[in-house]
Structure 1
Amino acid sequence: MMLPPDSLARRYGLVALLAALGADRGEVRPIGGYVRDMLLGLDPADVDLATVHRPEEAARRIRAAGFKAVPTGIAHGTVTAVLPSGPVEVTTLRHDVETDGRHATVAFTDDWQADAARRDFTINALSADPITGQIHDYFGGQDDLAEGRVRFIGDPLARIAEDHLRILRFFRFHARFGKGAPSAPDLEACAARARDLMALSRERIAQELLKLLALGDPAPTVAIMVSRGIFAPVLPEITPAGADRLAALVHREGKDGDPVRRLAALLPGDIGVADKIGARLKLSNAQRKRLMSAAEPAAGDPKALAYRIGITGARDRLLLAGDMDGLSAIEGWTPPRLPIGGGALVALGLSAGPRVAATLAAVERRWIEEGFPDATRVDALAREEVARD
């Protein structure tokens, strides 16, 4: 396989950047996910480059080419070149000196294979000559890519010991690129070392889990993870029943998959559990509230539900409940605003004070129950409620 010859030219400024970094002398290559995705005919989200140049020299060359150089990860050799077509990470070739399962101490090198060897999976260790498009593949990544096989480079247990997050990454990459069952030795290593996940920050776990759940159909892979006890050390609330709920939800969603909603499907329908998981994973306040809301039942009229909690919250509950008729009822519908305020009630003779809010709430309740009638009917409702006061 070869990198498509015009692929790099599609991004404005990239050819000039490659020239500045010594593409004609073999001193820079596109690497990793960019090469992998291009070979699959996908549109890569990012461009990552590797170079023999040390970070300071890489930054000097980037600036000399007329681009801004940002030292985003200088200790690990990464400088970001800001191109008109978007940022490009340029990283000096490295090899690991020391790892602790979370962080790595690196040393710079000019050995392309040594740099590739420190990457996680064979399909992520591919690089390409930017001039000829020739693929450099030291570990059989092209064959694995063609076969839909996700495989650690070298000893899976050793690679997991270097970075425990690779356990979750293995399953995410299998869900995205894998065909059939996961590679047996790699799966066994992940299952054997699942407790290593306890050493990771919950933020890293949450980020990786949500990336997995955002994929087209993560349900088969998640079911394998549950059956092999991958979640048990950090998220024991996820059970086979949750995996079944996820599979049903994915089927209902079609192309409208949402990772937070899918996380809600994995959990039992309990607000307290949802709150605890949201806190444990250090989700954002918005994500945590949404997870808790999704744990409640989809009761009552769908439009009334959407009015009270918003379209997104209503869609979450209806999809999780399998209420497709209710979902259809709110598709394309925008919750209206109550066409009356407290001032109108005072103008109708209601004394200003606490009774205004209570009466307005009564009008709103009847307006919702009647299916959101127009302003004429709301005015009649307001007059009836004011007369009752």
Structure 2
Amino acid sequence: MAALIDALGGGAETRFVGGAVRDTLLGAEVSDVDLATRLQPREVLERLAKAKIKAVPTGIAHGTVTAVSAGTPMEVTTLRRDVATDGRRATVAFTDDWMEDAARRDFTMNALYAVPESGEVQDHFGGLADLQRGLVRFIGDPLTRIAEDHLRILRFFRFHARLGQGEPDLAGLQACAARANDLMALSRERIADELLKLLALPDPAPTVRLMVGRGILRPVLPEIDEAGVGGLEALVAREATVEVSPEPLRRLAALLPPGGELAASIAARLRLSNKATKRLVTAAERQRNDVDRPLGLAYRVGSEEAVDRLLLGGGDPAIVSSVRAWRKPRFPLSGGELIAMGLEPGPAVARTMQAVERAWIEGGFEGDRDAVRALARAHVERALGDRA
């Protein structure tokens, strides 16, 4: 870190900014370190090369270079000011003015800079006071900030859910409600990313209730209503009882009416990955009888997915805990063995395998290999008798 700062001219030219400063002041874990610099991007690359520090021009057109120091990637971005914005992206010009750079950021608590050598914090818009009282406040006029980047609507609520204390900033809340339709102009990937970050927080339910009440999600996710918020609140309480970590896809399923078809439609709308889609749909397909055979459920859909469904269905904490600790056994039978017992290759083998496996599951996975083979032999004899 010190070598990187030295290469970039120390605090006179380069300072820590944003989340790293905010979270350090809060005593929270810092996940990403961002640096702001007065140096032009090409000079950043040249200085890092001279210092033998790996540099990747990840977003050099917008002034960002990723420096890898001691195996840790850090984004180094030249001070900027917005020239033009359309709510999704900005055209920027580089500057050497710290105030100009701070003025284009979203919230006061995210526009804090720290001088590396002294730790002195530069605060241009009252971010320190807002951070102390847990107030997420837009820099300047909230409507202007939202017009520059519509995603700031969702970010306002995510930061409030994470850091807010008491009621949200009224001017910001009103601006977000007034401009909620602007979310329709965003890519669904950006909406999904921000929504899932919100749902991954320890208890996002009060903030989601506020969002639903103000109609924030209606333009992009009209399926989420007051009943869904109640489902989320119940789920968060159950997760705490069982000491299960937050899972945003499980929580999204709680917000939606049950049903795999609807969940699949929403997953497609949000451009979720195949893996995420499968988990969301599986959770949405929950049934009242899931609690009757929880290990059989876990065998069919997977342990994590079974936990999702049991929690969503109000399953007993002891049952959920048993599923979490369970390890899926291997079904001790192959199609080749059925053929060796006399079945001809084809659909009959698949049907018999499924019947034997179903009986094995319903029996609690009991019986060794020989017992399962004996069960299979009985099914084969029955199948051959039916054919005769």
Q: Give me the TM-score of the superposition, normalised by structure 1.
A: 0.94
Classify the secondary structure of the residue corresponding to 2:325: coil
Q: 2:192 is matched with which residue: 206, 222, 225?
A: 206
Q: 2:39 aligns with which of 50, 53, 72?
A: 53
How much has 1:41 moved relative to structure 2?
0.8
Q: What is residue 386 of structure 2 aligned with on the other side?
A: none
* Structure 2: gaps of 5 or more residues: 384-388
Task: Output the CA distance in 2 between the equivalents of 1:176 and 1:69.
Answer: 32
Matches within 5 A, 1:304-323: 304-323=296-315
- Where does residue 93 of structure 1 map in the other structure? 79
Task: Name 2:380's counterpart in structure 1.
Answer: 386
Paired with 1:130 and 1:51, the residues of 2 have a C-alpha distance of 12
CA–CA distance in 2 between the matches of 1:236 and 1:352?
50
Alpha-carbon distance in 2 for matches of 1:352, 1:154: 73
| Pick aligned residue for 2:322 from 309, 325, 329 | 329
Matched-pair contact (CA < 8 Å) for 2:41–2:77: yes
Which residue is 1:23 aligned to? 10
Change (3 A) 1:351 1:232: closer
State whether structure 2 residue 371 is matched by structure 1 residue 377. Answer: yes
What displacement does 1:382 show?
A: 1.4
Structure 2 SS opposite 1:331: helix
Which of residues 281, 284, 299 in structure 2 aligns to 1:292? Answer: 281
Once residues 268 and 215 of structure 1 are traced to their aligned partners in structure 2, the CA distance between those partners, rounded to angstroms, is 22
Question: Which has the larger displacement, 335-344 or 111-120?
Answer: 335-344
Amino acid aligned to 2:306? A
Q: Which residue of 2 aligns with 1:273?
A: 262
Q: Which residue of 2 aligns with 1:301?
A: 293
Query: For residues 352 and 191 of structure 1, do their structure 2 counterparts lie closer, same or farther at Cα, with a shift above 3 Å needed?
Result: closer
CA distance in 2, matches of 1:329, 1:108: 57
CA distance, structure 1, for counterparts of residue 345 and residue 285 of structure 2: 36
Matched to 2:297, the amino acid is L
Cα deviation code 1:355-389 (max 9, x no counterpart) = 22222221111111111112232122112112212
Tell me if 1:256 matches 2:245.
yes
CA–CA distance in structure 2, aligned partners of residues 168 and 98 of structure 1 = 21
Spell out, residue by residue over 1:270-319, the C-alpha distance to the aligned partner (whole angstroms, 9 max, x if none).
Answer: 22211111111111111112211111124341011111111121111111
Instruction: Tell me how far apart the structure 1 counterparts of residues 342 and 193 of structure 2 sit (CA, whole Å).
Output: 56
Q: Is the 8 A contact 2:109 2:136 kept in 1?
A: yes
2:91 match: secondary structure: strand
Letter in 2 for 1:321: G
**Which whole-Å deviations, capped at 9, do the CAs of 1:27-59 have from their partners, x for residues lacking one?**
110111100011111121111001111000011
1:360 to 353, 366, 369: 353
The question of 1:338 aligning with 2:343 is answered no
Of 79, 83, 106 in structure 1, the residue corresponding to residue 65 of structure 2 is 79
User: How far does residue 326 in structure 1 lie from its aligned partner after superposition?
Assistant: 3.3
2:151/2:186 contact within 8 Å kept: yes
3-state SS of the aligned residue for 2:258?
coil
Change over 3 Å in CA distance of 1:353–1:242 after alignment to 2: closer
Tell me, yes or no, if the aligned pair for 2:304 and 2:324 is still in contact at 8 Å: no
C-alpha distance in 2 between matches for 1:172 and 1:350: 59
Q: 1:188 to 1:353 in 2, by over 3 A?
A: closer
Partners of 1:119 and 1:238 lie apart in 2 by: 30
Give the whole-Å Cα distance in 2 for the aligned partners of 1:194 and 1:137: 30
CA RMSD of aligned residues (A): 1.3
CA contact (8 A) 2:41 2:65 kept: yes
Task: Tell me the alpha carbon deviations over residues 149-184 of structure 1, each in whole angstroms, 9 at most, x when there is no partner.
Answer: 100001111111110000000000001111111111
2:15 counterpart SS class? strand
Question: In the alignment, residue 129 of structure 2 is paired with which amino acid?
Answer: D
Inter-CA distance 274–353: structure 2 relative to 1 (3 Å threshold): closer
Deviations 1:80-116 (A, max 9, x none): 1111231111110111111111111111111001101
Give 1:352 deviation, angstroms.
4.1
Letter in 2 for 1:280: R
Match of 1:282 among 271, 282, 290: 271
The TM-score, its normalising length taken from structure 2, stands at: 0.94
Distance in 2 between the 1:353 and 1:242 partners? 46
What residue identity is the alignment partner of 2:248? P
Q: What's the secondary structure of 2:67's corresponding residue? A: strand
Mapped partners of 1:379, 1:151: distance in 2: 68
- Aligned residue runs from structure 1 range 153-172, under 5 A: 153-172=139-158
- The number of aligned residues is 375
- CA shift, 1:68, in A, is 1.4
